[in-house]
């Protein structure tokens, strides 16, 4: 690492376009008044300006408490919802504004696996029909080859290929999720959004389904957005993790950055709530951090940092200024004025000099905020080194 002049973040990683490039994605659901004339009286800010990338064959874990906007993000990426704002580049093309007809070919490439294997499979259709219908709709194989293909898919997900004539209720929960996975694989997608795919399953079955997803990802080189509500589930699946809180990404980075060097108080609290099984086995202990209170309403989120009402490090600046999602390592970003590893949170806001404000968040005359702070979806080869209070450049890049 060497010192570098503070520059706006660059988009380049290795020059090639990522499979998925999401920028400033926003989804506001209108809140209507009751009564005869239903006026819009506010908005649920379910997703509020998030940016991230997924490489071809890569997998990003999206983690956060219930209600923080994970499912909405998944539904935006699969374009089940049309975003209020922002862009979603898939293979270099912005799909955020496409209409139903333009979306049809895309439905092959981006598939979703749902949390609830009971609710997402039609109980009146046989498994053969559930898996075979997409093949027919999209004209993937000649009619005669639909059944052999269905059987092949059943085999891939570890089910008996002779059971294509059975109905969903004849299978166990874990098997039903396997059917959901087979259906998602039918059209050979390039990106799979898995929304809490194991949350509804018995703990004993969860590992099997995760292993299956992992095998499938390796075998078919599928990009994954893997949504989970706790960090333990994605730990062994995703080399990269994003932590969401009230519609924002508060920390994102490669596995080690998140699990070994979490800098955001919210990530630290989530980690202490879900200690790693292996660490517990060797007697390693983490200090348990209790999350105070409930998640505030996304209709009226707190000013500045949305986590401040539950954060034990919060100071004046946290209410006044929203912390930008700053890159603080090769593949690590965090949005916190007092970012630091546990026991090393600084006393002064580390972001203040970059934002041109003082410790209360008031503008300092004659200093300007660094342009473009925290808006990039990827990683730059320069970043802000918090302990050293300086921009550094990655020389290996």
Ligand X SMILES: Nc1ncnc2c1ncn2[C@@H]1O[C@H](COP(=O)(O)OP(=O)(O)O)[C@@H](O)[C@H]1O
Binding site for ligand SF4 (CB under 6 A): 264-265, 305, 307-308, 311, 313-314, 318, 323, 336-338
Does 243 bind ligand X (CB under 6 A)? Our answer is: no
Q: What is the DSSP letter of 369?
A: P
In whole angstroms, how close is the CB of 194 to Mg ion at the nearest point? 11
Nearer to ligand SF4, 158 or 346 (CB): 346
Cα(171)–Cα(165) distance, rounded to whole angstroms?
Answer: 12
Cβ partners under 8 Å of residue 98, min gap 6: 79, 106
| Subset of residues 293 to 332 that bind ligand X, contact rule: CB under 6 A | 298
Q: Which does 44 bind (CB under 5 to 8 A by kind): Mg ion, ligand SF4, ligand X, none?
A: ligand X
Shortest reach from residue 301's CB to Mg ion, in Å? 18
Residue 242 CA to residue 253 CA, distance in Å, equals 7
Q: Cβ closer to ligand X: 72 or 78?
A: 72
Out of ligand X, ligand SF4, Mg ion, none, what residue 338 binds, judged by CB under 5 to 8 A for its kind, is: ligand SF4
- Which of ligand SF4, Mg ion, ligand X, none interacts with 318 (beta carbon under 5 to 8 A by kind)? ligand SF4
Please identify which residue in 29, 118, 167, 220 interacts with ligand X, judged by CB under 6 A: 29
- What distance in Å separates the CA atoms of residue 77 and residue 110, rounded to the nearest whole number? 8
Q: Judged by CB under 6 A, which stretch of 13-21, 64-72, 141-149, 362-370 contacts ligand X?
A: 64-72
Q: Which of 18, 49, 61, 69 binds ligand X (CB under 6 A)?
A: 69
CA angle (253, 258, 260) in 5-degree steps: 135
CA pair distance 114, 49, nearest whole angstrom: 24
Nearer to ligand SF4, 20 or 314 (CB): 314
CB 73 within 8 A of CB 25: yes
Give me the residue label for tokens 């004025």: 337
CB of 50 to ligand SF4, least distance (A): 16
Select the residue interacting with ligand X from 18, 49, 58, 67 (CB under 6 A). Answer: 67
By beta-carbon proximity to ligand X, the closer residue of 229 and 235 is: 229
Q: Looking only at residues 171 through 190 of this chain, which bind ligand X when binding is defined by CB under 6 A?
A: none
| Least CB distance to ligand X at residue 52 (A) | 15
Runs of H (alpha helix) within the chain: 70-77, 100-109, 127-137, 146-156, 173-185, 203-220, 231-235, 255-261, 265-273, 277-281, 316-320, 352-355
Binders in 12-71 for Mg ion, by CB under 5 A: 71
Q: Which is nearer to ligand X, 72 or 380 (CB)?
A: 72
What phi and psi values does residue 271 have, to the nearest 5 degrees?
-65, -40
Q: Which does 263 bind (CB under 5 to 8 A by kind): ligand SF4, Mg ion, ligand X, none?
A: none
* Closest distance to ligand X from the beta carbon of 118 (Å): 18
Q: Counting contacts by CB under 6 A, is residue 34 touching ligand X? A: no
CA dihedral 229→235→240→246, nearest 10 degrees, is 20
Tokens of 143: 């009619």
- Please count the residues of this chain forming the interface with ligand X, following the rule CB under 6 A: 12
As a whole number of angstroms, the distance between CA 192 and CA 258 comes to 23
Q: Does 228 bind ligand X (CB under 6 A)?
A: no
E strand map for 33-115: 40-54, 59-63, 85-90, 93-94, 110-113
Q: Is 120 in the site for Mg ion (CB under 5 A)?
A: no
Residues 6+ apart with CB under 8 A from 389: 350, 353
Binding residues for ligand X, rule: CB under 6 A, are 29, 44, 46, 64, 66-72, 298
């Amino acid at each position: 690492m060497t010192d570098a002049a503070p520059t706006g973040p660059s988009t380049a990683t290795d020059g090639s376009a990522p499979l998925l490039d999401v920028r400033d994605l926003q989804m506001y659901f209108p809140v209507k008044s009751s009564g005869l004339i239903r006026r819009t009286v506010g908005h649920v800010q379910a997703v509020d300006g998030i940016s991230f990338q997924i490489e071809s064959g890569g997998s990003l874990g999206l983690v956060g408490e219930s209600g923080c906007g994970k499912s909405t993000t998944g539904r935006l990426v699969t374009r089940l919802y049309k975003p209020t704002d922002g862009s979603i580049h898939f293979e270099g093309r912005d799909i955020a504004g496409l209409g139903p007809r333009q979306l049809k070919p895309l439905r092959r490439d981006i598939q979703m696996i749902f949390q609830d294997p009971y609710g997402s499979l039609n109980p009146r259709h046989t498994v053969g029909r559930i898996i075979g219908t997409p093949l027919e709709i999209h004209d993937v194989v000649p009619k005669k080859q639909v059944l052999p293909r269905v059987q092949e898919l059943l085999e891939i997900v570890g089910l008996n290929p002779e059971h294509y004539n059975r109905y969903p209720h004849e299978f166990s929960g874990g098997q039903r999720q396997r059917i959901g996975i087979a259906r998602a694989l039918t059209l050979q997608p390039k990106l799979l959004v898995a929304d809490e795919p194991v949350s509804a399953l018995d703990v004993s079955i969860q590992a099997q389904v995760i292993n299956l997803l992992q095998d499938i990802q390796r075998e078919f080189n599928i990009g994954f957005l893997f949504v989970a509500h706790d960090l333990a589930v994605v730990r062994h699946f995703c080399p990269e993790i994003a932590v969401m809180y009230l519609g924002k990404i508060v920390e994102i980075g490669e596995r080690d950055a998140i699990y070994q060097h979490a800098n955001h108080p919210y990530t630290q609290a989530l980690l202490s709530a879900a200690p790693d099984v292996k660490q517990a086995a060797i007697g390693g202990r983490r200090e348990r951090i209790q999350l105070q209170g409930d998640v505030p309403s996304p209709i009226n989120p707190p000013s500045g940092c949305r986590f401040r009402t539950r954060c034990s490090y919060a100071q004046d600046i946290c209410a006044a200024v929203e912390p930008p999602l700053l890159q603080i390592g090769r593949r690590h970003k965090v949005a916190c004025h007092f970012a630091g590893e546990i026991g090393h949170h600084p006393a002064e806001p580390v972001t203040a000099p970059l934002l041109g404000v003082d410790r209360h968040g008031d503008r300092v005359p004659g200093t300007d905020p660094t342009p473009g702070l925290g808006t990039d979806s990827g990683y730059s080869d320069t970043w802000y080194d918090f302990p050293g209070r300086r921009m550094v450049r990655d020389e290996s890049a």
